[in-house]
Amino acid sequence: MMPRRGRQFVLSIVLFAVLTVWSFPVFWGLVTSLKTDRDVLAYPPIGPFHPILSNYGEVLVGRASIVPNLTSSLIVSVVTTAITIVLAVPAAYALARLRLRGRAPIGFYILATQMLPPIGLVIPYFMIFSRVGLLNTYHGLILIDLTLSLPFAIWLLVSYFEDIPREMEEAALIDRAGRFRALWYVILPQVRGGIAVTVVFVFLNVWNEFLFAVVLGGRVVRPVTVAMFNFISLEQTQWGRVSAAAMIAMAPVLLLGLAAQKHIVKGLTLGAVKGVSRR
């Protein structure tokens, strides 16, 4: 075959192509956010231009500021994540480690819930919420976001719990800890990493959520994913501002993603590849 060095060179080209294709849109969005509307429409699009910051200014402190939307997103994401973790951790432990009656059907139920197309939920939620006045409220949106997060979190956490050797609980029980303290003092500290990964994923999913936000939100509760459409109307699209808003909206998840990348990769692959050997 090809000599080793030649091969590595070709592979490096592949790497470069991959890097370009996957990072380009973000890069391009950044570039566009620094352009005036006229520069955006200029042809050819890769020509030099004079960068401006006014798009960001408009988007942050102008009349169309998306700061209230960032707040909306933050509230919904943080509260949903917190509730999800509190509920999912014990449930995942029970499913993974304890002799639970009906373990298989419960596991199946949780898996099925995770695979539901969200459209099937948002329609009845819309009807119910409009009757009980939960549209455009935080309670409402958080409630439906739980349907996204809870089964997913349980599924992910189960694989982390299963990673711990069975003897851990047994040793703790023999050491007179009792079931609850065995969980608290021995098992939980060992899944700290898994819980962190789950937090990241759940937060990400809720922050990026769109369908529920656009149907069930309103003027008060308007997450940042919906707010981006503020700058798009039938007459014109303010590309520069849209891009700036998108960059700001995505900044938290991008930073979170890059900071936790090792854990994210592990979490993705663990959930997917592990699920194989389990059943």
Under the binding rule (CB under 8 A), the answer on residue 29 touching another protein is yes
| Of 67 and 175, CB closest to another protein | 175
**Residue 192, CA distances (Å) to 183, 187, 200 in order:** 12, 9, 12
Binding-residue pattern over the window 149 to 188 for another protein, x denoting contact by CB under 8 A: -xx--x----------x-xx-xxxxxxxxxxxx---xx--
Contacting range for another protein; rule: CB under 8 A; set: 51-59, 61-69, 74-82, 141-149:
141-149
Choosing from 50, 120, 132, 233, the residue that interacts with another protein (CB under 8 A) is 120
Burial 220-258 (b: 16+ CB within 10 A, else e): ebbbbbbbbebbeeeeeebbbbbbbbbbbbbebbeebee
Under the binding rule (CB under 8 A), the answer on residue 56 touching another protein is no
CB of 240 to another protein, least distance (A): 10
Under the binding rule (CB under 8 A), the answer on residue 234 touching another protein is no
Choosing from 128, 184, 218, 220, the residue that interacts with another protein (CB under 8 A) is 128
d(CA 170, CA 188): 15
Under the binding rule (CB under 8 A), the answer on residue 91 touching another protein is yes
Under the binding rule (CB under 8 A), the answer on residue 147 touching another protein is yes
Under the binding rule (CB under 8 A), the answer on residue 242 touching another protein is yes
| Of 54 and 261, CB closest to another protein | 261
Contacting range for another protein; rule: CB under 8 A; set: 20-28, 48-56, 59-67, 132-140:
20-28
d(CA 98, CA 92): 10
Under the binding rule (CB under 8 A), the answer on residue 136 touching another protein is no
Alpha helices in 50-137 (DSSP H): 54-61, 67-97, 103-114, 119-132
Best CA proximity match to 179, nearest among 100, 82, 88: 100
Under the binding rule (CB under 8 A), the answer on residue 235 touching another protein is no
Query: What kind and span of H or E run contains 31?
Result: helix 4-33
- Amino acid code (one letter) for 221: V
- Amino acid code (one letter) for 189: P
Under the binding rule (CB under 8 A), the answer on residue 105 touching another protein is no
Under the binding rule (CB under 8 A), the answer on residue 139 touching another protein is no
| Of 176 and 219, CB closest to another protein | 176
CB of 18 to another protein, least distance (A): 6
Please answer whether residues 62 and 124 qualify as being in contact, where contact means their C-beta atoms are separated by less than 8 angstroms.
no
Please answer whether residues 196 and 184 qualify as being in contact, where contact means their C-beta atoms are separated by less than 8 angstroms.
no
